[in-house]
Amino acid sequence: MKTKKMFNKITRYFFSSILLGTIVFSGCTKKKDKLPEPSSSQAGNQESTFRTSGFTWTKQTSPTANWLSCSYADLNNGLIAGTGGAAAITTDGTNYTSVSTGTTNDLYACYFPSSSTGFVAGNNATFLKTTDGGASWTSPTLPTLPTGAGFRGLYFLDSDVGYLTGGGGGVNVVLKTTDGGTSWTKLTGISPSTATYSAFFVDANNGYVTGNSGYIYKTTNGGTTWSATQIASSRAVVNSVYFTSSSVGYAAAFIGAPSSSDSLTTL
């Protein structure tokens, strides 16, 4: 393993991306981006939604809100979620109609596998499910969580198996469902991160969860056990991970103001 000292003069905040074990600094090295598929995308746009068929983006008609996440079942049917419990549905891929979620908590993640079924998750352990296209929402029973726990990530491998990620009270939270979100179990073995942010599974057994302190966690048995790899500075939050195949993956991390003692490791 080789250790590289960070540059002395860099901007106050920067992003790092990891491609097949190589750390790439934004502004230093540019690589061709691989866009995630619409059904698994997440985006944050204040008071706006956008659509693209390539590299040109068109602003769409959507209710006024601070949108934090989006998920689409197909080209026409989608769900967006945001601060203050805001959510909206589209059935034509262009125009959005607000729906009442019954919560005022910020919703950081959503998943919309079909035109009728959807999920949202966020602060204060908020997790809601709809089976009628957003007209009504229910709150499935969750395991006992740490005080102040909230969710930042929501990922479904298929219509039954899904994962919720988050944390609270200095403890990370990773939950798994095998019945489409009706019931959830708590997964353990993710350490030392005190929070988790996103999950991605290549198949039923092999998956990844991101954490703070620069860590990514890998499981090869559906979440029963995990191995940890520190891919960035101990001050880094690894916000997102995405795999295009079983061996090719991407991760995005946010690292605060650097210090002269920081170092990054090429794995």
Number of domains in the chain: 1
Q: Regarding beta strands 87-90 and 78-82, do their DSSP bridges make them parallel or antiparallel, or are they unpaired? A: antiparallel
- Residue 114 has phi, psi (to 5 degrees) of -150, 175
Mapping DSSP to helix (H, G, I), strand (E, B) and coil, where does residue 41 land?
coil
Q: Which residues contact 9 (CB under 8 A, 6 or more apart)?
A: none
Q: How far is CA 14 from CA 9, 229, 235, 261, in A?
A: 12, 21, 12, 17
- Residue 44 has phi, psi (to 5 degrees) of -120, 115
Domain with 151 in it: 2-266
Confidence of residue 259 (pLDDT cuts 50, 70, 90): low
Does the structure show a pLDDT above 50 at 53? yes
Cα angle: 245, vertex 81, 137; to 5 degrees: 105
pLDDT in tens, 55-69: 788 888 788 889 999
Phi-psi region at 241: left, alpha or beta (left = phi > 0; alpha = psi -120 to 50): beta
Alpha-carbon gap, residue 97 to 114, rounded angstroms? 17
Beta bridge partners of 254: 15, 237
Cα angle: 101, vertex 105, 106; to 5 degrees: 100
Does the structure show a pLDDT above 80 at 9? no
Q: What is the CATH number of the domain that holds 34?
A: 2.120.10.30
Does the structure show a pLDDT above 90 at 19? no
How high is the mean pLDDT of the chain? 80
Beta bridge partners of 162: 156, 177
Alpha-carbon gap, residue 7 to 156, rounded angstroms? 38
Average pLDDT over residues 164-169: 94
Which two three-digit tokens encode residue 213?
């302190």
Let me know: does 57 contact 67? Beta carbons within 8 Å: no
pLDDT in tens, 55-113: 788 888 788 889 999 999 999 999 999 999 999 999 999 899 999 999 999 999 999 99
